[in-house]
């Protein structure tokens, strides 16, 4: 079968490289370099849509929702640099199935596409398991992580959060959680539902970011045949599917005003009905609203209707981020790496000592999601049974490269009369700060060296990984005087 793929990237060179990889491997690719070109191309039906997460000033979250609404059957994949992964943590909950990291690895992009296809064809899970999951990065997929509790303090923030959640779970049927992206909130919700003897229905996860506002009402409540133009058959909504179970509304700040009013009305009456229907359905599900925005209560209150906001008991104790759980990083990283090995048939199964130090020193702004993607990329580059430092992203291993003691103590002298720097003062500061060109040149040299060594100086493979042609790679090797030791002799 030939799969059709829409590729959206404003970097023409990268788009051409990906196009070559995919067409060589049997995909029928349509390329778009602007959002408008992509929307125009959607008159055709696609199996996959591969979209760069950053294209100018585009609101990528809204754009992804448009793509998913127009072609809901298409598997949506993101392209991202390593530094962009922290932003992708929220975007993967907008109906995105997976993320492909730049520079592109042929083996990785093909494996990700294949695994996405297998995953999306899986039938909906029922009876206290997660249904309607649109992404392998959905937090409820990582239920084993809760086995690794934090050891930072005797009474951890993690334990405190878990205790508060347990207490509120029994106290209310409408609960609002506020947390940073991918800190593991889904773990706790999933396990509470799984172990709650009173919860007998489905566990349904709804990505509010993945729906256009005008479709939220009918998605939640369902509709009868003929209720509106296009309602060709009676369809049950999320609330009806989860009777006796749990509904998780992720990204509650995106819920439409119409949907909020309908939920408030249902709580006031104690029942709800499909759009255009008269059959009254009982309100016997647990409603969990979550937001991964780092908002205060006042900020969130301003984004929601007051009557809707007041429905919920609120848990404001944030789950600790990965940066706050340093001692949890390695055991969970090994667990994830073993899953990656099994899923993609790779060799790496543990982490070398030097690589472990870099994993522990990084601040992981994208939390577990960023750690997972970093390990996946490293596993594809690794040709041994353990991850080495050269397999890790340059931005991770060199984040403090120029943070020497003398540079850390650089102070900006102030002219008390004019509040400006003199020429001598500027020259003195410049002596302490590395030049941007020098940094860029050294970073390029080390990146090329790292990639060449990872592929045993196979220049064709190295050029593909770096996203350049073989001639450009050769010229850069000449520029930096990079040669294989055996070539010198």
Find out whether 135 and 98 touch, Cβ atoms under 8 Å. Answer: yes
Give the containing element (helix H, strand E) for 63.
helix 60-70
Transcribe 156-188 into DSSP letters: -HHHHHHHHHHHHHHH-SEEEEE--TTSSHHHH
The structure tokens 């996946």 sit at 376
Reading the block at residue 195, the tokens are 């172990």
The whole-chain average pLDDT of the chain stands at 77
Cα–Cα distance list, 212 to 218, 256, 258, 278 (Å): 11, 8, 12, 26
Report residues of the chain scoring pLDDT below 50: 119-155, 400-436, 485-486, 488-489
Of the candidates 60, 11, 2, the one whose C-alpha atom is nearest the C-alpha of residue 31 is 11
Find out whether 44 and 30 touch, Cβ atoms under 8 Å. Answer: yes
Please state, in angstroms and rounded to a whole number, the distance separating the CA atoms of residues 281 and 262. 14
Find out whether 223 and 276 touch, Cβ atoms under 8 Å. Answer: yes
Please state, in angstroms and rounded to a whole number, the distance separating the CA atoms of residues 345 and 143. 22
Of the candidates 192, 99, 182, the one whose C-alpha atom is nearest the C-alpha of residue 138 is 182
| CATH fold match for the domains 4-122 and 139-315 | yes
Reading the block at residue 418, the tokens are 């004019």
pLDDT of residue 441: 67
Chain-centroid distance of CA 28 in Å reads 27
Please state, in angstroms and rounded to a whole number, the distance separating the CA atoms of residues 287 and 32. 40
Please state, in angstroms and rounded to a whole number, the distance separating the CA atoms of residues 110 and 262. 43
Q: How many CB atoms lie within 10 A of CB 206?
A: 23
The structure tokens 């609002």 sit at 176
Q: What is the DSSP letter of 129?
A: S
CATH 3.40.640.10 for domain 4-122, yes or no, is no
117 Cβ contact list (under 8 Å, min separation 6): 3, 47, 75
Please state, in angstroms and rounded to a whole number, the distance separating the CA atoms of residues 38 and 31. 8
Secondary structure of residue 317 in the 3-state scheme: coil
Reading the block at residue 155, the tokens are 């009474």
Domain range 139-315, its CATH number among 3.40.50.300, 3.90.1150.10, 3.30.1330.10, 3.60.70.12: 3.40.50.300
| Residue 176, Ramachandran bin (φ over 0: left; ψ between -120 and 50: alpha; else beta) | beta
Number of continuous H segments (helices) and E segments (strands) in the chain: 22, 17
Of the candidates 448, 449, 454, the one whose C-alpha atom is nearest the C-alpha of residue 348 is 454
Q: What is the DSSP letter of 305?
A: -
Find out whether 381 and 413 touch, Cβ atoms under 8 Å. Answer: no
Give this prediction's pTM. 0.67
For the chain, the domains span: 4-122, 139-315
Handedness of CA 181, 246, 98, 7 (dihedral sign): negative
């Amino acid at each position: 079968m030939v799969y059709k793929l829409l590729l959206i990237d404003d970097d023409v060179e990268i788009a051409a490289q990906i196009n070559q990889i995919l067409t060589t491997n049997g995909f029928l690719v349509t390329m778009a370099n602007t959002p408008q070109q992509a929307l125009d191309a959607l008159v055709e039906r696609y199996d996959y849509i591969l979209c760069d997460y950053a294209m100018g000033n585009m609101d990528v979250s809204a754009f992804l929702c448009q793509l998913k609404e127009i072609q809901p059957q298409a598997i949506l994949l993101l392209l991202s640099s390593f530094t962009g992964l922290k932003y992708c943590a929220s975007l993967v909950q907008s109906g995105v199935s997976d993320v492909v990291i730049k520079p592109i690895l042929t083996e990785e992009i093909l494996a990700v596409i294949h695994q996405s296809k297998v995953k999306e064809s899986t039938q909906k899970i029922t009876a206290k398991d997660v249904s309607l999951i649109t992404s392998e990065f959905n937090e409820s997929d990582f239920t084993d992580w809760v086995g690794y509790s934090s050891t930072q303090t005797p009474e951890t923030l993690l334990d405190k959060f878990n205790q508060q959640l347990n207490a509120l779970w029994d106290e209310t049927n409408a609960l609002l959680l506020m947390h940073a992206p991918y800190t593991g909130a889904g773990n706790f919700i999933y396990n509470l539902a799984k172990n709650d003897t009173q919860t007998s229905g489905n566990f349904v996860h709804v990505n509010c970011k993945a729906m256009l506002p005008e479709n939220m009402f009918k998605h939640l409540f369902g509709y009868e045949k003929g209720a509106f133009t296009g309602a060709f058959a009676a369809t049950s909504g999320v609330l009806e599917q989860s009777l006796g179970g749990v509904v998780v509304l992720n990204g509650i700040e995106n819920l439409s005003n119409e949907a909020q009013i309908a939920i408030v009305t249902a709580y006031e009456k104690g029942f709800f009905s499909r759009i255009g229907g008269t059959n009254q359905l009982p309100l016997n599900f647990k409603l969990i609203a979550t937001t991964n925005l780092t908002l205060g209560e006042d900020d969130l209150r301003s984004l929601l209707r007051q009557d809707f906001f007041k429905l919920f008991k609120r848990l404001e104790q944030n789950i600790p981020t990965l940066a706050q759980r340093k001692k949890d990083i390695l055991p969970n990283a090994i667990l994830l790496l073993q899953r990656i090995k099994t899923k993609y048939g790779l060799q790496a199964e543990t982490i070398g000592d030097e690589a472990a130090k870099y994993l522990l020193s990084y601040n992981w702004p994208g939390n577990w999601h960023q750690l997972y993607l970093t390990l996946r990329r490293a596993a594809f580059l690794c040709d041994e049974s353990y991850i080495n430092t050269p397999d890790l992203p340059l931005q991770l291993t060199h984040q403090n490269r120029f943070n020497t003691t003398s540079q850390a103590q650089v102070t900006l002298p102030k002219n008390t009369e004019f509040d400006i720097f003199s020429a001598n003062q500027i020259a003195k500061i410049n002596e302490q700060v590395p030049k941007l060109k020098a940094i860029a040149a050294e970073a390029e040299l080390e990146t090329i060296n790292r990639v060449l060594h990872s592929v045993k100086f196979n220049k064709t493979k190295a050029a593909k990984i770096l996203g350049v042609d073989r001639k450009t790679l050769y010229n850069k090797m000449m520029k930096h005087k990079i040669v294989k030791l055996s070539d010198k002799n």
